[in-house]
Structure 1
């Protein structure tokens, strides 16, 4: 059913770059807009083809790809595409494909040719006004991407330098050639010798012929890590998983010998490169700890000592105020606040153990005050590089185990939170709350020496990860 221009005008008024249009201009634009629907899988724009239409996303989700690589997904009403090929009259530089059923508002350039001569100049001015709005928004986004690219380059260069100092021989077991590429890019120029096996049999052959410092293995070939563990075939082995917490827990439940896990987003190459480089740097350099490893070099890190349970509120208020002054959104800070409270509770009540490894305060009600001796005190650290916000709590015990993480999270995700807490003072949901509220949680543990829990948050609350994830490192 064709919409009346007044109905279209009412809807597009909420689109970001139409907000500055007068009612008159908005109605004139609406009179030229067509409504079109596309089934999932439809190619709306083809790279290299000619195009004469502006598309405004109404409902659904599309992906934008360049040379078969996905560079963006769009699902916000009002997102525009096709504008550059219309403006420059050059072939389309990207392919846009519908990931779901999609509805768009479309303006075709030929529609302007039918404008009455007396209104020609007015509509031509309107067309250029639309283009200017589009280009202005694109320029803002491009500048932000350029800034993030520079930050990423600095991070990668620093991480690569750290790995270059120690070198090493690394085996990657990864059947997906597309996912092999980020590892190649991460280790290129570091001096690390990288071998790649496309399947488990290929990995076995390489393991029989070589001694490796580190093995990276995709979850579909996880049985290789059991063989590496049993045969002591490498100094370190890392399981590469998807960002599905519950799915990962099922894998870890039956593979508890895995000491190191790194989750990755198959569509986010930059993050994959960053986290693999960070993981390898931590293990090959035997240096697990520090939120600085996940932030841009040179950030100012705040350090606070945690000496008693009554400090918690004051510490959280200081942290909240610090990030609020930096302009961090309240929606992000509310999640940070929840995470920090759980981290402090764990550090005060759960982490302290005696010389026999027996918990000291775990049985105590979380409402009861606990005063920590000097050798029991933890450290709260936090910082932001303008892209990520990081908070961490580090305790001097190293009592957190893989079994605690796996079993507690399984009990929470299976609806049995607290089932392991019969003789404990807490509700048994702390780790679950931490992971669910952060974008990424990293557990670093040196047994009997130190535990550090790091939580990372995207500063832009609108870019919150669709699925939270966790990494862990146990040595």
Structure 2
């Protein structure tokens, strides 16, 4: 079956996305936003919508409010010149919003190709999708909180071997720490009751996981980007909760971030604000995987200024 891709917004800004979709073999239709946009879009019946946020102009509000009315609820990929855009918190509250990409991101076209492939049925899980073929990926099973520091030592050694040291390596280890904290303390649930097993524990409390609870840390690089992922065997993190935490963090304020004992909200927001690309893959009640990608060609300051991308995929 040929995938139908609807492009909305400025033609010039959408040209790289159109090229990727064409290479994907898609049937493509591009529309400028107007009052009759959704009548035309319904006639085309897209499988995927790629939306240039800044190109919507005065029709942005209408598009955001009516996107969920498209038949079949096609996934929507939002492209933004500034990423995250000022309206990011509002976007995260829209039920149709699961994908944001910065048009200035260093691996924009490669990431869009992976996103289109995943949305149209290709395998959901795997860090290797986001790194070039042949990139070495290290895999470390995590038996509990005591395994974190040895894992960070291996990340440090890996980065030193490719000539990277200092603050950037410290940041990568901190990101891995956040991912592992969530997988060790927040992800495990009782298989019968569905109740969280360790969520209320202080993060300083040692936890040894049962064999069927253990997450897997993976990391690798092609010398330009560094990728890491943590996969747990529960599939308990809902996309709505995930997006809600990030929205609260973006809004700020004392009541906005779940920073209480055992809370995962602050960690997820910090991950989004630190990674170039953040991906949540959920197979409900089976597996959860969070993937992070970072451009390692520049300085620590470059990392802080980099555009952000976010993807949420769920299968049931």
The corresponding residue for 1:437 is 274
TM-score with structure 1 length normalisation?
Answer: 0.59
Q: Mind listing any 5+ residue stretches in structure 1 that lack a counterpart?
A: 1-165
Q: Does 1:211 align with 2:45?
A: yes
Q: Which position in structure 2 is the counterpart of 1:233?
A: 72
- Counterpart for residue 322 of structure 1: 158
Q: Quick check: 1:382 aligned with 2:216? A: no
2:93–2:247 Cα contact (<8 Å) kept: no
Question: Structure 1 residue aligned with 2:130, among 294, 315, 323?
Answer: 294
Look up the match of 1:469: 308
Partner of 2:253: 415
Structure 2 residue 284 is matched with structure 1 residue 447 = yes
Question: CA–CA distance in 2 between the matches of 1:388 and 1:345?
Answer: 23
Question: Quick check: 2:7–2:31 contact (8 Å CA) kept in 1?
Answer: yes
Where do 1:114-153 residues align within 5 Å?
none
Mapping of residues 168-179 of structure 1, within 5 Å: 168-174=3-9, 176-179=10-13
Quote how far apart the aligned CAs of 1:371 are: 1.6
Between the aligned partners of 1:427 and 1:231, the Cα distance in structure 2 is 33
Superposition pairs of residues 43-442 of structure 1, within 5 angstroms: 167-174=2-9, 176-201=10-35, 203-219=37-53, 220=56, 221=60, 223-224=62-63, 227-245=66-84, 247-255=86-94, 257-265=95-103, 267=104, 271-355=107-191, 356-413=193-250, 414-416=252-254, 420=258, 422=260, 424-426=261-263, 428-442=265-279
Cα distance in structure 2, aligned partners of 1:222 and 1:278:
29
Aligned to 1:55: none
TM-score (norm 2): 0.85
CA pair 324-458 structure 1, distance change in 2 beyond 3 A? same
Secondary structure of 1:382's match? strand
User: What's the CA shift string for 1:55-102, capped at 9, x where partnerless?
Assistant: xxxxxxxxxxxxxxxxxxxxxxxxxxxxxxxxxxxxxxxxxxxxxxxx
Structure 1 residue 278, shift from structure 2 partner: 1.7
* Residues in 2 aligned to 1:230 and 1:204: alpha-carbon distance in whole angstroms: 8
Any idea what SS the aligned residue of 2:28 has?
strand
For residues 144 and 83 of structure 2, the distance between their equivalents in structure 1, rounded to whole angstroms, comes to: 36
Aligned CA distance change for structure 1 residues 203 and 287 (closer, same or farther; 3 Å): farther
How many Å apart are 1:344 and its aligned residue? 0.5
Q: Quote the Cα distance in structure 1 between the aligned partners of 2:83 and 2:291.
A: 19
Q: Which has the larger radius of gyration?
A: 1
The number of aligned residues is 305
Query: Which structure shows the higher helix fraction?
Result: 1
Q: Which residue of 2 aligns with 1:109?
A: none
CA separation of 1:189 and 1:425: change in aligned 2, threshold 3 A: closer
Distance in 2 (CA, whole Å) between partners of 1:419 and 1:214 is 32
- 1:225–1:309 CA distance, 2 compared to 1 (3 A): same
Which of 1 and 2 has higher RCO (CA within 8 Å, sep 6+)?
2
SS at match of 1:429: helix
